[in-house]
Structure 1
Amino acid sequence: MQPAIDDFHRLIMEDVVAARAAVEQLDAAFIARGILFAGKAMPAHLRPHFFSREQRRQLETAAASVLHAALAAEKGLFGGNREALFEALRIQDAERQLLRTDPGYDNPVVWTRLDAFPTPDGIFFLEFNHDAPAGVGYSAAMTEIYLDLPIVRRFAEQYVLESDEPRPALLAALLTTYRDFGGQEHPNIGIVDWTDVRTSADQIILRDYFIREGYHAVIADPREVELRDGRLYAGDTRLDIVYRRVVTSELLTRLDETRDFTTAYEIRAACFINSFRCRVSENKAFFAFLTDPSQLSFLSDEARATLLKHLPWTRIVAEQHTTLPNGQRVDLCEHVACHRAAFVLKPADAYGGTNVYVGSETDDATWEQALRRAVRDDALWVVQQRVATPVETFPIHHADGTFTFEPMKYNANPFYLGGQIAGAVVRTSQSAVINVSAGGGSIPTFTVAPRQSA
């Protein structure tokens, strides 16, 4: 994709004044369309991310296959004994109660966002984001805005641009799951999350889309919904589908304030999507089982190979001996302490890039302190083999109006929506911890091909 990148950057330098105006148009459009994070315009670059058709095909194939294999593994680990799996992941009693509840349909992951590192050695998925992931609304709106930029229209004279629109696939996944749940009515959709959440703009974009598609949709706080006669309501609106955006770990700290919400789930007063059962395979400690061949004998050879090919070697931090990918048997903590540059250390049940220690960017004393904390903590931590972070050059617009082209770390985040990959965003950062919450930015993706070969 380097020729396409170079051609886009050449357009910037050929008319810096127009490029500067495009940045201003981009920021204004983000604010006008509500593409905000924590109340400000979403950090972005003037150039979107480009995939070739083959790169896009490889990403989509890998994402779908690794997720299917992971969900198959969840069913079979510990001989299918879910309580044993809960115990291994140290899932607390309050959450176990939610996980034991049958949501009324089979699929634990209706939709998700995967964190992928496309590297020269292959595509690696560092995390699954099943539990209330954001980004579909942002992605769709950003794509529309970029297509309206004059510089993108000029670029499209040289290249065919294939853009993403994931919202129809998301809506279809919600409706299909609602039918599987047994729903018969033309459903009302409630997007449920805390009122002050930083990704509320993404929810507004989706609510407005659902309404345009003919569905009554509202945004509600889980503290304010009510059970009435066995149904869940937000004000006067009966919620048939709860598009759950409230994060489970936060919900568990406010159970007294959200009793009607959790009770509605337990009695199936509405169809909750995703169900709380998605949390099992999202847990970062789950990767310790997915990357341990001794745990995967019940899987097909193909599924087992897929997991070992696309997931980085991961182990739960504990005083234990384990086997490295090369077959060497080691003392885990001793090995990790001595080879910090090869590993990343992070809590198993956290999000937003918090408390993530990248060994190559952490000094010895801090690494040792974090490792001691991980061993002693009541909550699980994992150590994960560090994957080479992809780097790509992006245009940086400076306050004085000039542009420079600087290397940025990035990851690709495909959306899995009702059984298919439908769209992706790319996040960039100067830090190895790539997350908007941790100071990164977000841009849409386009599949491009030179016009003469289209």
Structure 2
Amino acid sequence: MASVDDRTVRDAVQKAVDVELLRVAYGGAFLSRPVFLDHAQQEGLGRDLAGVFRLLTSLPGLVTDGDLGRYCELVGMTPSQAAAVRRTAGAPPVPLGRADLYHDGEGFRLLEFNISSALGGFENAEINRALRDVPAIADFTERERLRHVDTLGEIVRVMLDTHSAPFWGDRPFVALVDTPASFPGLERRLGFMAELLSAYGVDAVACHTGQIEARDGRLYVGDRPVDIVYRFFIIEDLLEETGELELIDPILRCHENGGVTVFAPLDTEMYGNKRALALLGDERVRQSLSAEDLALVDRFVPWTRRVRRGEVEVGGAYVDLEAYCVENRADLVLKPSLLHGGMGFAAGWLMSEAEWRSALDDAMRSPFVVQRRVAPGPETFTDGDVTGPSVLNWGVFMAGDRYAGAIVRGVADPDVGVVSMGSGARVGGCFHGPDPSAAL
């Protein structure tokens, strides 16, 4: 669509997305055009993410013989976090997540897989709907038969599938629940989400854990009984010093007793953290994988390992991990296992040797992973008065076992450590092409 990626289209795009819901979510920072996947890419992403999800959710059985306490410790959780996770475990893992990927010019590479209900970007279909108000984009998408997935609709489908009990009222009542500490910054965004959910036959309210009351085996927000707690609080919130463990106890107790459904349960945090992804490179795990699964991991997941003392496999040989990291600083990143949003991220190519050694030494004492850098291939966008390359972080959703839409973040600096809103990224929507075998 380069032919219509000019200043006229850019201005029309900025006008189209200038609505309160999207301003609240993304602060008015948008790319000058959407991005596109062909049918094979869309189908391939859905297939690959479903495959990695299957592998990640098999890890407790492979590495700790199903002992969830030991597995939680292995991926870096505290004992109290692990105890909270075990209280919601038991049912099949909820197949919902958003992958962060780079495209390196040859294919997509999976940097992280956020398996959770607390996913940013759920408004992406609203971006696409707004973009279709731009004549040039509307004409192009119609001519090429491009579509987009309603990601929020897919999330609702998975959410309702996890709830087996009758609803307390005529429509499901969902509490969108965050922590008291972070709720003020997210309240308006969750309020818009509650409004959007109404179109799917769901009543919802935005609140925090301190606003939920347990009575008679049920949870209430005000006078209304809650059917589903849509969880926006995450494992890193559950620390003794925050008091959050005490606040979520009534929620977990009600979930255990069948009085409410927690969506997604806290056990998803076992699979969606960075150390879980690193375990796919563990030799014990690799020896148990089929040839097809090994090929998927080697093609789709960049080299990722737990940071620890000792030897590690690199390219078929075993080397000392610390020495390897020091020697290959420019090609590596350090990431904390359980934090999000780029917190604790260290890019070796942006640091001096002394800074990198210090970061590596700290990582040796904490649950961290080291990952080989992926250099994303650039795409062309217009930013201000300049048309030039930007690198993209593709946020691709999986719901069930299929592709469920995407949102991208882009920055002009190819050497940026993290492509995120914190690093000045702009946001864009994503359309995908039709099945070539389908009738016109």
Answer yes or no: same fold by TM over 0.5. yes
**SS at the partner of 2:196?**
helix
Answering whether residue 18 of structure 2 is matched by residue 28 of structure 1, we say yes
| Equivalent residue, structure 2, for 1:297 | 287
| Equivalent residue, structure 2, for 1:228 | 215
Answering whether residue 150 of structure 2 is matched by residue 173 of structure 1, we say no
1:244-259 to 2 correspondence within 5 Å? 244-252=231-239, 256=243, 259=246
Q: 1:396 aligns with which of 383, 405, 408?
A: 383
1:207-286 to 2 correspondence within 5 Å? 207-252=194-239, 256=243, 259-268=246-255, 269-286=259-276
Contact 1:113-1:133 at 8 Å conserved across structures: no
Distance 1:198 1:423 in 2: 25
Give the letter aligned to residue 350 of structure 1. L
Instruction: Give the deviation of 1:67 after TM superposition.
Output: 1.5
| Equivalent residue, structure 2, for 1:444 | 429
Distance 1:20 1:91 in 2: 45
**Are the structure 2 counterparts of residues 260 and 350 from structure 1 closer, same or farther at C-alpha, using a change threshold of 3 Å?**
closer
Answering whether residue 328 of structure 2 is matched by residue 343 of structure 1, we say no
**SS at the partner of 1:423?**
strand
**Are the structure 2 counterparts of residues 423 and 23 from structure 1 closer, same or farther at C-alpha, using a change threshold of 3 Å?**
closer
Give the letter aligned to residue 420 of structure 1. R
Give the letter aligned to residue 426 of structure 1. V
Contact 1:159-1:450 at 8 Å conserved across structures: no
**CA offsets, 1:22-47, max 9 Å, x none?**
14413522xx3344247x32x11121
Answering whether residue 49 of structure 2 is matched by residue 63 of structure 1, we say yes
Instruction: Give the deviation of 1:450 after TM superposition.
Output: 13
| Equivalent residue, structure 2, for 1:147 | 132
**SS at the partner of 1:163?**
coil
Instruction: Give the deviation of 1:384 after TM superposition.
Output: 0.8
**SS at the partner of 1:223?**
helix
Q: 1:48 aligns with which of 34, 38, 41?
A: 34
Distance 1:371 1:391 in 2: 29
| Equivalent residue, structure 2, for 1:400 | none
**SS at the partner of 1:164?**
coil
1:152-167 to 2 correspondence within 5 Å? 152-156=137-141, 158-167=143-152
Distance 1:60 1:48 in 2: 20
Distance 2:167 2:290 in 1: 37
Distance 1:290 1:157 in 2: 41
**CA offsets, 1:42-70, max 9 Å, x none?**
x1112111112222222222222222222
Of stretches 197-206 and 168-177 in structure 1, the one that deviates more from structure 2 is 197-206
**Are the structure 2 counterparts of residues 408 and 241 from structure 1 closer, same or farther at C-alpha, using a change threshold of 3 Å?**
same
Instruction: Give the deviation of 1:449 after TM superposition.
Output: 7.0
Answering whether residue 3 of structure 2 is matched by residue 7 of structure 1, we say yes
Contact 2:331-2:373 at 8 Å conserved across structures: yes
Distance 2:389 2:225 in 1: 49
Distance 1:28 1:361 in 2: 35
Give the letter aligned to residue 82 of structure 1. L
Distance 1:312 1:108 in 2: 24
Q: Share of identical aligned residues, percent?
A: 25
| Equivalent residue, structure 2, for 1:90 | 76
Instruction: Give the deviation of 1:75 after TM superposition.
Output: 3.2
Contact 2:392-2:408 at 8 Å conserved across structures: yes
Contact 1:389-1:409 at 8 Å conserved across structures: yes
Answering whether residue 390 of structure 2 is matched by residue 408 of structure 1, we say yes
| Equivalent residue, structure 1, for 2:409 | 427
Of stretches 341-350 and 197-206 in structure 1, the one that deviates more from structure 2 is 197-206
Answering whether residue 193 of structure 2 is matched by residue 203 of structure 1, we say no
Q: 1:367 aligns with which of 356, 364, 374?
A: 356
**Are the structure 2 counterparts of residues 55 and 199 from structure 1 closer, same or farther at C-alpha, using a change threshold of 3 Å?**
farther
TM-score by length of 1: 0.86
**Are the structure 2 counterparts of residues 418 and 450 from structure 1 closer, same or farther at C-alpha, using a change threshold of 3 Å?**
closer
Answering whether residue 181 of structure 2 is matched by residue 188 of structure 1, we say no
Contact 1:226-1:261 at 8 Å conserved across structures: no
Instruction: Give the deviation of 1:404 after TM superposition.
Output: 1.9
**SS at the partner of 1:355?**
coil
| Equivalent residue, structure 2, for 1:320 | 310
Distance 2:11 2:272 in 1: 42
**SS at the partner of 1:46?**
coil
Long gaps (5+) in structure 1: 398-402
Q: 1:109 aligns with which of 94, 104, 108?
A: 94
Give the letter aligned to residue 349 of structure 2. S
**Are the structure 2 counterparts of residues 134 and 202 from structure 1 closer, same or farther at C-alpha, using a change threshold of 3 Å?**
farther
Q: 1:381 aligns with which of 349, 368, 377?
A: 368
**SS at the partner of 1:336?**
helix
TM-score by length of 2: 0.89
